[in-house]
Structure 1
Amino acid sequence: MKTRRVVAGLLVVALVGGCGVATRAQDAEGPSGPTGGNPTNAPAGPIPVGLEKFYQQRPAWERCGSGSQCATITVPLDYTKPAGDTIELRARRIPARDRSSRIGTLFINPGGPGASGVQFASSAPFSLGAALLRKFDVIGWDPRGVGDSTPVRCLDTEEQDKLLATDGSPDDETEISTLNAENKAFAQACERRSGNLLPHVSTEDAARDIDVLRGIVGDAELNYLGYSYGTFLGATYAELFPKNVGRLVLDGAVDPSKTAEQNNIAQAKGFDVALDAFAEDCAARSCQLGGSKTEVLAAVDKLLTETDAKPLPTGGDRELTQALTVLAVIFPLYQKEAWPQLEEAVANGLEGKGAKLLALADAFTDRTPRGYAGNQNEAIYAVNCLDRQDITSVADAKSKLAKYTAESPRFGPYLLWGSLACANWPVKPTGKPHPIKATGAKPIVVIGTTRDPATPYAWAVGLAGQLDSGVLITRDGDGHTGYKAGNPCVDSAVESYLLQGSAPATDIEC
């Protein structure tokens, strides 16, 4: 789960750490070897009436980088009209290294909404245990509306830069008007460029796509590892297709019963918890921001106040505004190993230098020297605004400002006003908050991290409690998500479940 204006997560953190990513331009190295093609001769599991041609398609898997195969899959634009228009999904497969003992396919989703599963799959050798890579074909795909699948398109690079830099916690009517105008222009651009797609990028639509993918690869049941927003996608799949559930791991869980307001406030407080942990760690190391937690937090707040009053130079054409500073502060909280970068960037900012903070903000939003590498800044709104009713107007935001500010003075207003695009969105929301039980599904493993900045631990507790077959793994730690985060207890439990199919008998604390 990510903020409306923030589009990072496990995927972005992993890629910044140096994992190579094969781009679409590299997807042309010739046909695959003997492991290419469909592992079976026919789709497995039940096929919904009217969708036979989609489940029965045979994608042409071709080499797309070392050890990878890519293919394009066709799905209906509108599942209520399967004979109508279609869209494309792009997928990357990493074949199981031990073909003789292959279990099946493990589908992975990095979150978002809007993060690229195709890119995430290319990092599978770094983000998954060796035993999983031996036994499973690993498939990551770009969900509908994202990346190399049929994408939501709205703004060019200059327009995205302007939107992300606009004051996200306006202090007066002029700033409110400016922010609303930018979000209105954004929503209108999305309608102009992607109007036919916008009504059909809901999480429910994306979950139905997963079942098509499952059928195509010949697996009777879905094996799935989803992170952050990917847990909502996986839980939605389990609700729609409980009998098709195989081994599902939902890491950094989202609570589907919560309203947009509850989510926003909880996430703001989650960032506060993570920043507190950073401040305590920084002070314990006698860092350059202060010798106590209070001094470190005061330094961060001073930077936020100063960049609100006057943007910082960055050595280039773009200035560091307060909105970009917030992104730069939030991003390293996703992974404890990045905390020293946050310390250094804040210290530089207090010296009037914005380059290191801008680099963090750009990493968070996938901004490269050539522009934005993906469309996640746009897709996140398209999905979230459709999935949940959020603020409906400027007046509605104003009426809730005091509550948000009381709950989280530092991040609350930012998350509130970050929903203005949804107030201007051309498509009305179709989803409603509700508990997901997935009655009839096999055991589903849910992972929650106690000081997770983006998906608060309480959400994992909530989802595991709602699911009829939910089992909770608690990771006591920092950072976003729990698997492969340096906790052998979590890793062992997850891999034993995925490899053997036996979920923990009771909840586990790691």
Structure 2
Amino acid sequence: MLLAAAALLISGCSSGSSTTATATSTSTADAVLAALPSSTPSTLARYYGQKLNWRPCGVSGFECATMKAPLDYAKPATGDVRLAVARKKATGPGKRLGSLMVNPGGPGGSAVGYLQQYAGIGYPAEVRARYDMVAVDPRGVARSEPVECLTGRQMDTFTQTDTTPDDKKETGQLVDAYKKFADGCGRHSPVLLRHVSTVEAARDMDILRAVLGDQKLTYVGASYGTFLGATYAGLFPQRVGRMVLDGAMDPQLTARKLNEDQTAGFETAFQSFAKDCVRHSGCPLGGAGTSPEQVGKNLKAFFQQLDKAPIPAGDADGRKLGEALATTGVIAAMYDEAAWPQLREALTAAMKEKDGAGLLALSDSYYERDADGKYANLMFANAAVNCLDLPAAFATPDQVEKALPAFEKASPVFGEGLAWASLNCAYWPVKPTGEPHHIPAKGAAPILVVGTTRDPATPYPWAQSLASQLSSGTLLTYVGDGHTAYGRGNACIDSAIDRYLLQGTPPPKGKRCS
């Protein structure tokens, strides 16, 4: 997941610089992620040689441990960061193939939670039989010394901030919100905030690989997890085993370009939703024959009404449904077409009955806010990683205003809000350490890149680009809707990936599933 206030899973997923280049900048267009030396530095020997103390945890069959990694790889002696690790051992029958590490994306998604709630029990039985299923929460995420920024009440205020300012006063309020968010992260996690980059997280994964006793890394990463996996491949190409990168990111793009592309991706997904909605009687955005463009205009008009007059949402804490929360709720449903019926019902209740509870629930699930008003650290880690990985998309409100036409062209429905959301890293207390770059990973074993043609959060061209950058990349295409493809019910996709994981044979180049 990437934008800041509105589109978490990836774009804002990159942010922060004074540049407003629309593609790779001239200074970084030729940058390549260089491989690290094949030998392990003596200064890291104690990390690579550590023994984990496994203990039962969570549901039956899972074990957890704490792994140490250097806080600063440039100065390993200055201190450690403790990382939460979990596994479920191979169940058999069949010869054990090693460990299969998984990451659900974000940045900020809990890999341990994903393993315990889905991958460790929901991956195909044949895969779980042959692999120890393993996850590590990246540094700054969930159980791994999480980045902290705001209290629950402060986050409630932040998530309701108007991201489509109508005048200078509202622009100032939005800027203030981003500054308070950044200041909170800087005050609560001043040291850790400098060491949560994707490069550092990828190096942590290599320590875990070694500690588990695997010569090579077998890995399935989704969404931002593809950037993490590709980064690992670039740093340690000779240690790549079987690697699946599903819902791929393109590491060569600037923050602005990532945000703009993702904005277009959400528009593509919304067009599919719009066509589906009007096929159902009672669609609140239009009847049979209503064009997707008109459906979008109708939704935009509803957002504008909420901007002027928020509606009740049945919230115990008194929150009402305004434009910001409603937009987030709609965006949340774009990730999976299975959520479209829920979104139709929520929009019907909000537009016809002035009941915002359904859209608020979608928004809360996106932000990982529980019924007690507590937030997981997903949004904090998301911003911390993104703002460190790339220079910001925009440095000032004036730059956003100049870019509005491009964003609104990419998405008449979401463009304005997502453009302003791209300002989030402009006020970050830590300077970025990363830059756009190519990842050839020369010498790596075959890497399987998976792209979905109407993916809202990681647009299909990103998968095409990553597969072409990787010297051993193979692209597998799912012609369909939703974010990522593996394990979402398409037998063609699932069988191709399962065969690769179990036999090491990637599908033929150009394979498409629908």
Please report the TM-score for the alignment, with normalisation by the length of structure 2.
0.90
> Counterpart of 1:357?
359
One-letter code of the match for 1:163?
A: F
1:417 to 403, 417, 420: 420
Q: Deviations over 1:164-203 (max 9, x none)?
A: 1100121211110001011101111111110101111111
* Residue 250 (structure 1) aligns with: 245
Instruction: Describe how 1:290-329 pairs up with structure 2 within 5 A.
Output: 290-291=286-287, 292-294=290-292, 296-316=295-315, 317-329=318-330
- CA deviation profile, 1:356-390 (whole Å, cap 9, x unmatched): 11001001110111233520111111010111112
Measured in 1, the distance between the counterparts of 2:500 and 2:136 equals 23
Do the aligned partners of 1:265 and 1:408 also contact (CA within 8 Å) in 2? no
Give, in angstroms, the shift of residue 100 of structure 1.
Answer: 5.8
Q: Trace 1:20-35 onto structure 2 (pairs within 5 A).
A: none
Q: Which string of whole-angstrom CA distances, capped at 9 and with x for unpartnered residues, describes residues 274-320 of structure 1? A: 01101111112334322234454344223211111111111221111
CA distance in 1, matches of 2:146, 2:348: 39
Q: Any idea what the Cα deviations from partners look like across 1:312-347, whole Å, max 9, x if unmatched?
A: 111221111211111100111111111000101111
Which amino acid in structure 1 is aligned with residue 414 of structure 2? F
C-alpha displacement at 1:129, in angstroms? 1.1
1:157 and 2:152 matched? yes
88, 92, 95: which one aligns with 2:89 = 95
Whole-angstrom distance in 1 between the partners of 2:214 and 2:508: 25
Matched, 1:199 2:198: no
Q: 1:508 to 1:372 in 2, by over 3 A?
A: farther
Identical-residue share of aligned pairs (%): 46
Residues in 2 aligned to 1:6 and 1:217: alpha-carbon distance in whole angstroms: 38
Do residues 52 (structure 1) and 45 (structure 2) align? yes
Partner residue in 2 for 1:503? 506
Partner of 1:36: none
Q: Secondary structure at the match of 2:344?
A: helix
Q: Does 1:268 align with 2:270?
A: no
For the residue of structure 1 that corresponds to 2:178, the secondary structure is helix
Instruction: Return closer, same or farther for 1:155/1:457 CA change in 2, 3 Å cut-off.
Output: same
Instruction: Give the letter for the 1:213 counterpart.
Output: L
Cα deviation for residue 9 of structure 1 reads: 6.1
2: distance between equivalents of 1:71 and 1:249? Answer: 25
What displacement does 1:437 show?
Answer: 0.6
- The change in CA–CA distance for 1:244 and 1:332 in structure 2 (over 3 A counts) is same
Deviation of 1:430 (Å) = 1.2
- The Cα shift of 1:83 comes to 1.1
CA distance in 1, matches of 2:489, 2:387: 35
Q: How far apart in 2 are the matches of 1:299 and 1:257? A: 36
Partner residue, 2:453:
450
Paired residue secondary structure (1:70):
strand
Q: By how many angstroms is 1:127 displaced? A: 3.7
SS of residue matched to 2:312: coil
Tell me which amino acid in the other structure corresponds to 2:331.
I
Amino acid in structure 1 at the alignment position of 2:247: G
The CA distance in 2 between the partners of 1:271 and 1:60, in whole Å, is: 44
- Please say if residues 300 and 346 of structure 1, whose CA atoms lie closer than 8 Å, have aligned partners that are also in contact: no
Question: Helix, strand or coil for the counterpart of 1:253?
Answer: coil
> How far does residue 451 in structure 1 lie from its aligned partner after superposition?
0.6
The letter for the 2-side match of 1:258 is L
Corresponding residue number in structure 2 for 1:478 = 481
1:284 aligns to what SS in structure 2?
A: coil
CA distance in 2, matches of 1:218, 1:186: 41
Matches within 5 A, 1:140-179: 140-179=135-174
Mapped contact 2:9–2:107 kept (Cα < 8 A): no
- More deviation in 231-240 or 367-376? 367-376
RMSD (Å) for aligned C-alpha atoms: 1.6
1:373-412 matches, within 5 Å, as: 373-390=375-392, 391-412=394-415
Instruction: Classify the secondary structure of the residue corresponding to 2:401.
Output: helix
Mark the CA change 1:320 to 1:126 in structure 2 (over 3 Å): closer, same or farther.
farther
C-alpha distance after superposition, 1:463-503 (max 9, x if no partner): 00111000000001110001112211110110100111122
Note if 1:438 corresponds to 2:441.
Answer: yes
For the pair 1:332 / 2:325, whether they are aligned, the reply is no
What SS does the aligned partner of 1:484 have? coil
Does the Cα contact within 8 Å between 2:454 and 2:479 map onto a contact in 1? yes
CA distance in structure 1 between the aligned counterparts of 2:4 and 2:424, rounded to whole angstroms: 9
Structure 1: gaps of 5 or more residues = 11-44
Q: Structure 2 vs 1, CA of residues 456 and 87 (structure 1 numbering), >3 Å: closer, same or farther?
A: same
The answer to whether the 8 A contact 1:6-1:377 is kept is no
Q: Confirm or deny: 8 A CA contact 1:303 1:346 kept in the other structure.
A: no
Query: Aligned partners of 2:184, 2:399: CA distance in 1, in Å?
Result: 23
Q: 1:276 to 1:320 in 2, by over 3 A?
A: same
Q: Per-residue displacement from partner, 1:381-427 (whole Å, max 9, x unpaired)? A: 10101111121122322232232223323212222211333110011
Structure 2 counterparts to residues 39-78 of structure 1, below 5 A: 46-65=39-58, 66-78=60-72
**Cα distance in 2, alignment partners of residues 403 and 9 from structure 1:** 21
Tell which has more relative contact order, 1 or 2 (C-alpha 8 A, sep 6+).
2
CA contact (8 A) 1:7 1:376 kept: no
One of 216, 224, 235 as aligned partner of 2:230: 235
Task: State the one-letter code of the partner of 2:343.
Answer: L
SS of alignment partner, residue 75 of structure 1: strand
Amino acid at match of 2:265: G
User: Which of 49, 73, 79 is the equivalent residue of 1:79?
Assistant: 73
Is the Cα contact below 8 Å between 2:259 and 2:422 reproduced in 1?
no
Distance in 2 between residues matched to 1:428 and 1:2, nearest whole Å:
18
Letter in 2 for 1:332: A
Residue correspondence of structure 1 range 450-469 to structure 2 within 5 A: 450-469=453-472
Q: Supply the distance in 2 between the matched residues of 1:500 and 1:8 (Cα, whole angstroms).
A: 35
1-structure distance, mates of 2:7, 2:52: 30
Q: Which amino acid aligns with 1:64?
A: C
Tell me if the contact between 1:232 and 1:256 (Cα under 8 Å) persists in the aligned partners. yes
Any conservation in 2 of the 1:328–1:360 contact (CA below 8 Å)? yes
Distance 2:69 2:300 in 1: 48
Deviation at 1:217, TM superposition (A): 0.2
Is the CA contact (8 Å cut-off) linking 2:476 and 2:511 kept in structure 1?
yes
Letter in 2 for 1:176: T
Partner of 1:2: 2
User: Matched residues in 2 for 1:242 and 1:302: separation?
Assistant: 50
Q: How many Å separate the matches in 1 of 2:454 and 2:114? A: 24
Give the TM-score, by structure 1 length.
0.91
Q: Supply the distance in 1 between the matched residues of 2:497 and 2:64 (Cα, whole angstroms).
A: 27
Offset at 1:348? 1.0
CA distance in 2, matches of 1:142, 1:374: 13
